[in-house]
Amino acid sequence: MVAKKKALGRGLGALIDDAKYEKRPVEEAVSTSAIAEIDISKIETNPFQPRKEFDQEALQELAESIKELGIIQPITVKKVSEDKFQLISGERRFRASKIAGLKKIIAFVRDANDQGLLEMALVENIQREDLNSIEIAVTYQRLMDECQLTQEKLSERIGKKRATIANYLRLLKLPAEIQVGVRDKRISMGHAKALINIENPDAQLKVFYKIINEGLSVRGVEALVREIKFPVNKEKTKAAKFELPKQYLDIRDTLKKQLSTKVDLKRSENGKGSITIAFNSEDEFNRITEILLKGAK
């Protein structure tokens, strides 16, 4: 019986594809779905790669897997000259293969112009890489700016709801300090989405540091944002509650004396209001209602 291979580390399973690829000469592979085996030394990295930093520990883990299993999922390259290729997608696999000491690597060879190259690299990263929220937002923006895509077209291209794309793009309107905080996972995207609703950048930063220093939850931040956005309405409510005309205050005090209990009288600016009479027992209720009913006769 053949021993079962040990399970791969988290994320590596996504690289495994049971399909078998037929290797062909480079020139033939350009126009077919086949792959070619290319000297790693002839491949240059993609200048449009949105991810600039790679986790070295994760790359080493992937390199060990490649030593054991080989490259299961080919990288994708563009032929730029007779002995030179440019990476379109699969930079993690490419880097890990170099760490693993491979001299050759299997690759799909595509004919793509620079815009196509950029779009293919960015879309692949959005769909496969563990990008943080800011990297995703930057990638969406680059796709729109450099590939002339509207939010609607981008939504169709990557299979994401337009509202989702819009939410990510809004993160780029936050101050740089907050964007770095999201990137470094000091705050979550939920926190950031709440901060977007504050218009003043200084106020955004004040709440940002409050989140970090006090460990506020997303709901806590949302409540704080509401207080910042609607302070006038809150003050009006307080004013309406306490600033009663003198005649209302006199009536309230008279009722308190006559009924020998707490009476609360509220009135809004448009004249609407309420009178609340408190009682603490059934006997007290009967006593108060008897006084009121006598007065009504």
Q: At what angle do helices 218-229 and 189-196 cross, to 10 degrees?
A: 10
Burial of 21 (0-12, 13-18, 19+ CB in 10 A): middle
Q: Which helix (H) or strand (E) holds 104?
A: strand 104-110
Query: 64 in a domain, yes or no?
Result: yes
**CA nearest neighbour of 29 among 60, 63, 74, 62:** 74
Percent of the chain at pLDDT above 70? Answer: 77
Tell me: do 287 and 224 sit in the same domain: no
Tell me: do 33 and 83 sit in the same domain: yes
Range of the domain at 54: 12-112
Q: Does 176 score more than 60 pLDDT?
A: yes
Determine the 3-state secondary structure of 191 from DSSP.
helix
Residue where a domain stops, chosen among 112, 130, 155: 112
Query: 261 in a domain, yes or no?
Result: yes
Structure token digits, residue 112 = 């793509």
Query: 153 in a domain, yes or no?
Result: no
Burial of 169 (0-12, 13-18, 19+ CB in 10 A): middle
Residue where a domain stops, chosen among 201, 229, 257: 229
Tell me: do 209 and 276 sit in the same domain: no
CB 73 within 8 A of CB 15: yes
Tell me: do 224 and 249 sit in the same domain: no
Whether residue 91 lies in the annotated active site:
yes
Tell me: do 220 and 245 sit in the same domain: no
Query: 284 in a domain, yes or no?
Result: yes
pLDDT at residue number 112: 60
The catalytically annotated residue of 22, 28, 91, 222 is: 91
Which CATH number do you get for residue 257?
3.30.70
Query: pLDDT tens digits for 106-159?
Result: 888 876 666 676 677 777 767 655 678 888 888 888 788 767 789 999 898 888
Query: 98 in a domain, yes or no?
Result: yes
| Average pLDDT over every residue of 248-252 | 86
Structure token digits, residue 109 = 């060879």
Query: pLDDT tens digits for 232-248?
Result: 655 555 544 557 788 88
The Cβ of residue 79 has, within 10 Å, a number of other Cβ atoms equal to 20
Q: What total number of domains does the chain contain? A: 3
Tell me: do 59 and 104 sit in the same domain: yes
